[in-house]
Chains A and B, each alone.
Chain A
Amino acid sequence: MKKIALILIITGFAFLANAQTPDISGYLRNYTGVLYDTGDFAIIQNTFNLNVEKRGDKVAFKANPMLYHYWSDSLDLRLREAYLDMYFDNFDLRIGKQQVVWGKADGTFITDVVSPLNLTEFLLPDFDEIRTGVNAVKLDYYLGDNTFEVIYMPNFTPAELPTGNSMWYIQPEFPAPATFDWSKSEIKPSFENSELFVKYSAITSKIDFEIMGGYTWDDMPTMHVNKEIDMSSGQPVLTGLNITPKHHRLYLGGGSFSTEIKGFVLRGEAAYYNGKYFQTEDPTAVDAITEKDYLHYLAGLDFNVGNVKLSTQFIQQYILDYDENITNEETENTMTFLARYDMFRETLHLELFSYIGLTGEDALIRPKVTYDFDDSFSLLLGSNIFVGERTGRFGQYQDNSMLYFKVKYNF
């Protein structure tokens, strides 16, 4: 892996030396986190982010490799984006690996489903790093302030989830020994398996809005559970579980808006998902799963109190035609809260961001202070505090509460 990374970096610099003066920017960052409970290091990570781009009147390109180095001396090279742009009078075409961001929500993903998430560190990475790039052809057609967008993705990219040795991996509890068969979790690239998204959006003097639809795959695998029953004693005895993770087709439609009313920016976003599978305890259910339609929506408000910028959102996930055997709650309510204050001519930034799980009675509280030592160099001290019920989405990580420090050089 190290050799491959090195070859790619050398090739990259050789390309830069020959390219027609592309713009180069990026950053180098150290990120060190310490767990409150044990004092162990939660993370020691060095990141080199390189943006190489060149824009002309008719064409452009961008390549964005990111190299992560960890305390164990392991390297992780990722090509976050690498695409070509073509600009025409009324439409633009983008081809290659790209990140796509849709919707008006902050810190939650409702219609923003084109780029899958990297959840290997839960929701902690910056939101520009949490989305992964996808191979796609994107066409945008413009009519005044209206945009019609079509995205075709030839291959499916699932969400990245933490694996067994990660502190973010929660070992599920099974009533019997479980074996996993991951052979059916991969979706082979083919025309039949490709994904398609469409969006119409507009910004106007009164309101900005988006209307979208998607023919996609569920980024999260559904766990098909096959039970091994021993009847030798005359009574059924559960002796094992064969679990086969599979991705399923998902159809969704939705939209979002934002508008300003007397200094308050009101935002909303909603999506209707068809084809979503949930785990069920219904003994008659095949593979212990059931398909239910599902609604995910949000209402948010951004406003200022003095020089403090505030934002709050209410988010609800609602399973339609719910039955009591489904292991998820029928509704899951979450709130987010953001406060930000800039001091000393925008060199010191105070921020508090929180997810509050109303259903799970838990929360993730994220205060941070950033000081811009100069225009290119910043120091950040922050904390990720998980509190509440251990059964909740955030409370389950309460042993992972940490203090962290980031130092970053932008160029």
Chain B
Amino acid sequence: MKNLRTSLIAVAILIATSFGANAQLTGTQIVEKAYNRATGDDQTSTLTMTLTNRQGKQRVRKIKQFSKNLGTVEKNIMFFQSPADVKNTSFMSWSYDSDKSDDQWIYLPALKKTKRISSDSKSDYFMGSDFTYDDLGDRKLNADTHKLLKSETIDGKACYVVESVSKDEDYMYTKTKTWIRKDNFVGVKKEFYDEDEELLKILTIKKVEKISGFWVITNSEMKNVQKNHKTSMILNNIQVNTGIPASKFTERMMTRGL
């Protein structure tokens, strides 16, 4: 009995401690945990992006993508497989932990040329979709001020709701609200507000899978509620930590293609 009581007290203390620890998290710390969530050293996947307009007409883009974390720099390379007019186009980016701007290149097979492009276009929409380059994860953590608003439960999962306000007044979103799961710090929903602070877009995470021990978002949808069009992103053939060589992220591979 004494042992049981001791155990219960210990569990209670543990719960209280851990609740207390999470309760003390600031908005910045929560976003930082989500930002730094372990995703493996490298990842390969096939991305299918379906753009649906307000009339329900769909356009589909397919991309094979590879990423690798090399310590202070994360390298990504994408090979566009469809539609036909962009087939064999490739895009490479190197993102740095420091404040240095990303390096980005695009290879256009018709022109047979690898061009360095400006990373100053984070607000551009990616391939005509509802995702900007920033939405796809390129945005730096310290570009916004983060504030914990409340806790809320979505689909039975306890979440933090964090408001992030851009430090750049000219940025396309005045603020975002992100719902981040408390158990694994995976985001489940995000709202984007335009320059008039009106709700512009809602990102919904539809499926998260544990692959090789890492949480991976495999199905998400971004809906523009003002223009009533949306983009779904589905990841298939996901492989984590397969040891992709650093030589994959070079001009040689951009020009060679898949």
Contact = CB atoms under 8 A, between A and B. Distances in A.
B51 A304 contact: no
A378 B59 CA distance: 14
Nearest to B60: A375
B125 interface: yes
Contacts of B210: none
A205 B94 contact: yes
A375 B114 contact: no
B105 A265 contact: no
A145 interface: yes
A307 interface: yes
A159 interface: no
Contact of B114 (A203, A265, A307, A309): A203
B84 A411 contact: yes
- Judged by DSSP, the binding face of A is strand
Contacts of B247: 142
Contacts of B96: 205
Interface stretch (B2-10, B154-162, B250-258): B250-258
A410 B110 CA distance: 13
B258 A145 contact: no
A410 B112 contact: no
Interface stretch (A177-185, A256-264, A323-331): A256-264
Interface string A384-411: 0000000000000000000000000011
A70 interface: no
Given A304-B118, A378-B85, A101 B101 contact: no
A264 B101 CA distance: 11
Contacts, number: 100
Interface of B is mostly: mixed
A239 interface: no
Contact of A128 (B51, B105, B110): B110
A25 B129 contact: no
Contacts of A101: 111-113
B252 A142 contact: yes
Contacts of B85: 27, 375-376, 378, 410
A25 B111 contact: no
Given A260-B116, A302-B117, A378-B85, A345 B129 contact: yes
B100 A304 contact: no
Contacts of B117: 265, 302
A208 interface: yes
B100 A303 contact: no
B87 interface: yes
Contacts of A302: 117-118
A55 interface: yes
B124 A303 contact: no
A216 B112 CA distance: 21
Interface residues of A, number: 44
A199 to B, nearest CB: 12
B146 to A, nearest CB: 25
Given A25-B84, A375-B84, A410-B84, A203 B251 contact: yes
A99 B125 contact: no
Given A101-B111, A411-B84, A258 B121 contact: no
Given A101-B112, A203-B114, A265-B116, A87 B256 contact: yes
Contacts of B73: 205
Contacts of A104: 115
B229 interface: yes
Nearest to A142: B252
B128 interface: yes
Contact of A345 (B84, B113, B120, B128): B128
B119 interface: yes
Contact of A375 (B83, B94, B258): B83
Interface centre among A309, A375, A376 (most CB of B within 10 A): A375
Contact of A99 (B112, B124, B128): B112
A105 to B, nearest CB: 10
Given A265-B116, A303-B118, A345-B53, A374 B84 contact: no
Interface in A252-308: 258-260, 262-265, 302-304, 307
Interface string B195-206: 000000000000
Nearest to A129: B110
A127 B111 CA distance: 7
Contact of A55 (B59, B127, B257): B257
Given A92-B252, A345-B129, A375-B84, A304 B120 contact: yes
Contacts of A259: 116
A302 B94 CA distance: 19
A266 to B, nearest CB: 10
Interface string A229-266: 00000000000000000000000000000111011110
B152 interface: no
A144 B111 CA distance: 24
Given A101-B112, A304-B121, A140 B128 contact: no
A374 B59 contact: yes
A260 B119 contact: yes
B138 interface: no
A346 interface: yes
A212 to B, nearest CB: 15
Interface in B144-202: none
A101 B129 CA distance: 31
A262 B128 CA distance: 25
A258 B116 CA distance: 7
Given A145-B250, A263-B120, A375-B82, 8 more contacts: A87-B256, A142-B250, A145-B251, A203-B114, A203-B250, A345-B125, A345-B129, A376-B85
6 contacts: A55-B258, A145-B250, A145-B251, A205-B94, A259-B116, A342-B128
Interface of B: 51, 53, 59-60, 73, 82-85, 87, 94, 96, 100-101, 103, 105, 110-121, 123-125, 127-129, 229, 247, 250-252, 256-258
What are the nearest 8 A-B pairs in CB distance? A263-B120, A346-B128, A375-B83, A410-B84, A128-B110, A345-B128, A101-B112, A410-B85
